[in-house]
Structure 1
Amino acid sequence: MTAHEAVHAPAITQISRAQDATAAIRRELTDCWTAVINDGGAVVPMDCPLPPVTAPVLEPAMERIVRGLSPQRSRLLLATVDGALAGWLLLRREQHPLVAHCGVVNHVQTHLRFRGLGIGAALMRHTTVVAREEMGLERLQLSARSGLGLEDFYRKAGWTEVGRWPGALRVAPGDDRDDIMMTLTL
């Protein structure tokens, strides 16, 4: 571990029950999400408008995430540095019996002031351990928007691209991006 990594090594915790997601934690998660979306991040929920967004617009989506938390089905993983939220993601198990051995990773994000410090990579490493050892998952999947370099980030973390839906995401008129499907065998 380098000195840079030691100074900024995040603490990774998880929340797997709605009652453990306090109002303060929900507010921090929503504020991070708002900042990431407004900076061009690819974590816009399906029922929200395109940026710019405000925290109140995202609060219903955050409440749905929190209500769905369950140790075997859905967990929030949070990265903190010196007590401040540095990033988070959602790990959830597919519900249909045919794919219940698979998990989905959503909303991977690093707070703007912690970018470039390895927060996202630390979250992804921890996610694989939680998925395999605590949730008994065998495979993970995620979707990433092209044009942001996300596929390179995930490849470095061991993920494999398994398909693309060309031009599926319209960020703005004339700015269509591929939806990139990726998988990781645990």
Structure 2
Amino acid sequence: MTTHETAHAPVIAQITRAQDATAAVRRDLTDCWAAVVNAGGAVIPMDCPLPPVTPSMVEPAVERIARGLSPQRSRLLLATVDGALAGWLLLRREPHPLVAHCGVVNHVQTHVRFRGLGIGAALMRGVTGIAREEMGLERLQLTARAGLGLEDFYRRAGWSEVGRWPGALRVAPGDDRDEILMSLAL
């Protein structure tokens, strides 16, 4: 695990290998993910039901992410405050040679106990430097759920909206949301 820290900001660390995603780290990720989903967050794992969820329901997704970690292909970025997990995200390199210069940011989360403290902004600053300087990526992409103000958050971090899939996400019967496609040149 390597650490990047700036004054007056949370500590941003990255995990690049499966064996470094300890049981304690995995448990913290699982607990954070369940809390974020249950608070209305837009990061529901693919194989999970709609909220409410329990940590055990999220655990298989965390295990898959941890098993897939690799310095050149997939990294976890963790934000901690006083040693507690405050947020995290996943950075992945696209595997196909045509898009190997691009990365994908997934599962951007701030634990509900740490919202409003700049955790998400710190993670977004950290991911751009790591993507460019350590992984040699030239562009990042992510998707966000409309209706939560996420596109404004990402715009403030320098991202641009490049498209939408209208009504692609069904949050509940009668509540379809656009999936917003966003991009950042590094």
Aligned to 2:121: 121
Which whole-Å CA distance do the structure 2 matches of 1:180 and 1:119 have between them?
Answer: 22
Aligned to 1:158: 158
Aligned to 1:57: 57
Aligned to 2:20: 20
Q: CA deviation at 1:75?
A: 0.2
| Unaligned stretches of 5+ residues in structure 1 | none
| Unaligned stretches of 5+ residues in structure 2 | 1-6
Give the match's secondary structure for 2:41.
coil
Q: CA deviation at 1:62?
A: 0.5
Letter in 1 for 2:65: I
Aligned to 2:139: 139
Q: What is the TM-score of this pair, normalised by structure 2?
A: 0.96
Which whole-Å CA distance do the structure 2 matches of 1:45 and 1:167 have between them?
Answer: 19
Letter in 1 for 2:56: P
Kindly indicate whether residue 169 of structure 2 is the aligned counterpart of residue 169 of structure 1: yes
Which whole-Å CA distance do the structure 1 matches of 2:56 and 2:137 have between them?
Answer: 34
Give the match's secondary structure for 1:184.
strand
- The percentage of aligned residue pairs carrying the same residue is 83
Kindly indicate whether residue 71 of structure 2 is the aligned counterpart of residue 90 of structure 1: no
Give the match's secondary structure for 2:106.
strand
Moved over 3 A (4+): none
Which whole-Å CA distance do the structure 2 matches of 1:45 and 1:82 have between them?
Answer: 28
Aligned residues: 180
Deviations 1:143-162 (A, max 9, x none): 00000000000000000000
Aligned to 1:81: 81
Aligned-residue RMSD, C-alpha: 0.8
Deviations 1:30-61 (A, max 9, x none): 00000000001000111111100111111111
Which whole-Å CA distance do the structure 2 matches of 1:84 and 1:73 have between them?
Answer: 26
Letter in 2 for 1:151: E
Which whole-Å CA distance do the structure 2 matches of 1:61 and 1:46 have between them?
Answer: 8
Aligned to 2:108: 108
Which whole-Å CA distance do the structure 1 matches of 2:15 and 2:50 have between them?
Answer: 28
Give the match's secondary structure for 1:170.
strand
Deviations 1:83-120 (A, max 9, x none): 01000000000000000000000000000010000000
Deviations 1:151-183 (A, max 9, x none): 000000000000000111000011110000000
Give the match's secondary structure for 1:14.
strand
Which whole-Å CA distance do the structure 2 matches of 1:148 and 1:177 have between them?
Answer: 10
Give the match's secondary structure for 1:125.
helix
Deviations 1:1-28 (A, max 9, x none): xxxx83xx20000000000010000000
Letter in 2 for 1:15: I
Aligned to 1:178: 178
Give the match's secondary structure for 1:41.
coil
